Structure 1
Amino acid sequence: MGYCCGASMIGLIGSYRQQSIMVHQVPLMFCPVCHSMEVHPAVKEEVELVIEYALEDRVREVTLRETITPEMIAEWKEAGISFQETDDLEPILREQIDHSLDLLRVSKVLNDKEWGEELKHRLSVLTTQLKKLEQQKEESR
């Protein structure tokens, strides 16, 4: 599981740029708080190989996978990452808030004040994002 800003990252399928190469359909891990992004560990070597071949062939854009199957997503989820499968971010934000609250309880039991502060900041950002999303949904009705 990827961690950032005190808690877990969200998995998603997106585009990834390294050097001058844009790779599409890549499983990524994304932090909804600081917006840090990295390639999912299950495909990291494959992405590096695709980029290497693209550089040799002087190709600027490539697609890692033509199709993403539910089995692939299930395999990537095994890494313990919340995976965004639709455009609706609300369930993911709620899940991240729940995870952060659980971890905040653990930080209190461990008396880890620094981690607790990171989690409180993360909860604040996630809650703000959720409120904005709910407000946008309400306005679009």
Structure 2
Amino acid sequence: MSYCCGASKIGMVGTLRQQSIVVHHVPMLYCPVCHDIEVHPAVKEEFELVVEYAKEDRVKETTLREVVNPDMVAEWKEFCVSFQEDGDLEAILREQIDHSLDLLRISKILSNDEWGEELKVRLKVLTERLKKVEQQKESSK
């Protein structure tokens, strides 16, 4: 599991720009609070090789699709608390809020005030993002 801003990152497969190369179908970990993105550790070496080959070949776009298979994605889902596949951001945000509330309870038990404050900030950001998603959903009806 990967943590950022006091709680867990969301796993997803998407597009990432490295230098001047655009790489599609990249498994990554994303923080919904600070927007930190990192390539999933299981494919980091392959990602770097693909970028290097693309630079050598002067290719501006490439993909990791040949490297990634369904079994790997299933394994990555276990690595993350949340994994965004179908674009249902509302469900992911609710799951992240629940997880952060659980961690906040643990921080209180451990009397870890600093961690508790980080989690409160995270909860505030997640709640604001959830409200925006709900408003967008309402306005599109």
| Local SS of the residue matching 1:100 | helix
CA distance in 2 between partners of 1:91 and 1:75 (Å): 20
* Structure 2 gaps, min length 5: none
Task: Report the identity percentage.
Answer: 71
Contact 1:21 1:61 in 2 (8 A): yes
Contact 1:25 1:66 in 2 (8 A): no
CA distance in 1 between partners of 2:46 and 2:89 (Å): 28
Offset, 1:20: 1.6
Give CA deviations for 1:56-97 in whole Å, capped at 9, x if unaligned.
212111011159654332111121341101121011001100
Residue 65 (structure 1) aligns with: 65
Offset, 1:48: 0.8
* Structure 1 gaps, min length 5: none
Contact 2:25 2:63 in 1 (8 A): yes
The answer to which of 127-136 and 90-99 deviates more is: 127-136
The answer to which of 131-140 and 119-128 deviates more is: 131-140
Contact 2:27 2:40 in 1 (8 A): yes
- State the one-letter code of the partner of 1:116: G
- State the one-letter code of the partner of 1:22: V
- State the one-letter code of the partner of 1:6: G
- State the one-letter code of the partner of 2:87: D
Count of matched residue positions in the alignment of Structure 1 and Structure 2: 141
Give CA deviations for 1:13-54 in whole Å, capped at 9, x if unaligned.
111111221111101111111111110111111101111111
Residue 137 (structure 2) aligns with: 137
Give CA deviations for 1:109-138 in whole Å, capped at 9, x if unaligned.
111111100000000110111111112111
- State the one-letter code of the partner of 2:14: G
- State the one-letter code of the partner of 1:82: S
The answer to which of 74-83 and 32-41 deviates more is: 74-83
| Local SS of the residue matching 1:75 | helix
Structure 2 residue 80 is the aligned partner of structure 1 residue 80: yes
Residue 10 (structure 2) aligns with: 10
- State the one-letter code of the partner of 2:78: E
1:76/1:125 Cα in 2 relative to 1: closer, same or farther (>3 Å)? same
CA distance in 1 between partners of 2:40 and 2:81 (Å): 10
- State the one-letter code of the partner of 1:132: K
Residue 119 (structure 1) aligns with: 119
| Local SS of the residue matching 1:91 | helix
Residue correspondence of structure 1 range 36-55 to structure 2 within 5 A: 36-55=36-55
- State the one-letter code of the partner of 1:11: G
CA RMSD, 1 decimal: 1.5
